[in-house]
Homo-oligomer: A and B are copies of this chain.
Amino acid sequence: MLLDFDKLGAWRWALGLICGLMTLFLLLPILFIIALSFGSSRWLIFPPPSWTLNWYVELFADPRWLTAALTSAKIGLIVMVLSVILGLFASLALVRGTFKGRAVLRAFFLTPMILPVVIVAVALYALFLRLGMNGTLTGFVIAHLVVALPFAIITISGALESFDTAIEEAAILCGASPWEARFRVTLPAIKHGLFSAAIFSFLISWDEVVLAIFMASPTLQTLPVKVWTTLRQDLTPVVAAASTILVLLTVLLMIAAALLRKGKSK
């Protein structure tokens, strides 16, 4: 109550400065790319002389882009399912278990979050070279699962922690077996956490580029890799169109996740 906007004083200016910088360096360039994807100039002249959907037509006509997008979606969906299932089991053991070394195990599950992604990529690449898994769908899924799982575990653990075990105990005293209680009471109660974990896992895979570059083969690459490699060769408005689609799906899914969280707090 000490700080309403009229009394912000110096904060007000600092806040304005940060907003300005963020808008300048983050939002404007991305809006700029989105605008270019609808612009008629092949040479990315801004502002565009006129508006067109040509680059989207070109994008969808090119089977390589479509294949990349489908690959991304396929990998993302598999990662999502595995990440939620494994994350649920790991979270149950971490949150509910009383065995020793629980803290160590939890730290271990979160290591992929803190290791430099380029090192994870190099390490997985070296392993997959031996196993002959580079350029395979399995390789992609495992690589993305390794980075997505910590987020799924954090999200599901959080939901489990805020779920009072007394409710599960009540279900058991009501006559439900421990397994029945978990399936009929605990899982429905943490479903928002499971949905969030699913969305995060999909997005992490959908947006990931470093690991994907290492895993990719000429015949199997994800959308971010295709954007990356195309950019390296040639700055065409088709890349802007592909980028726009990537951003669009990301933002839509994040809004869905936010609405989910809001629905839960009601």
Contacts and interface: CB of A to CB of B under 8 A. Distances in A.
Nearest to A207: B116
A146 B118 CA distance: 19
Given A11-B89, A25-B146, A118-B207, A5 B127 contact: no
Contacts of A90: 14-15, 18
B209 A22 contact: no
A245 B86 CA distance: 31
Contacts of A243: 116, 118-119, 122
B2 A168 contact: yes
A165 B2 CA distance: 9
Determine the main DSSP class of A at the interface with B. Answer: helix
A5 B99 contact: yes
Q: Interface extent on A, as a size class?
A: 35 or more
Interface stretch (A47-55, A59-67, A224-232): A224-232
A209 to B, nearest CB: 4
Chain copies in the assembled complex:
2
A27 B126 contact: no
A185 interface: no
A174 interface: no
Interface string A83-109: 000100110110011110000010111
12 contacts: A5-B98, A11-B93, A14-B86, A22-B112, A26-B123, A27-B111, A30-B120, A33-B122, A116-B206, A118-B224, A119-B247, A122-B227
Given A2-B96, A14-B86, A29-B123, 9 more contacts: A3-B92, A3-B97, A11-B93, A21-B142, A26-B146, A28-B127, A30-B123, A33-B123, A118-B209
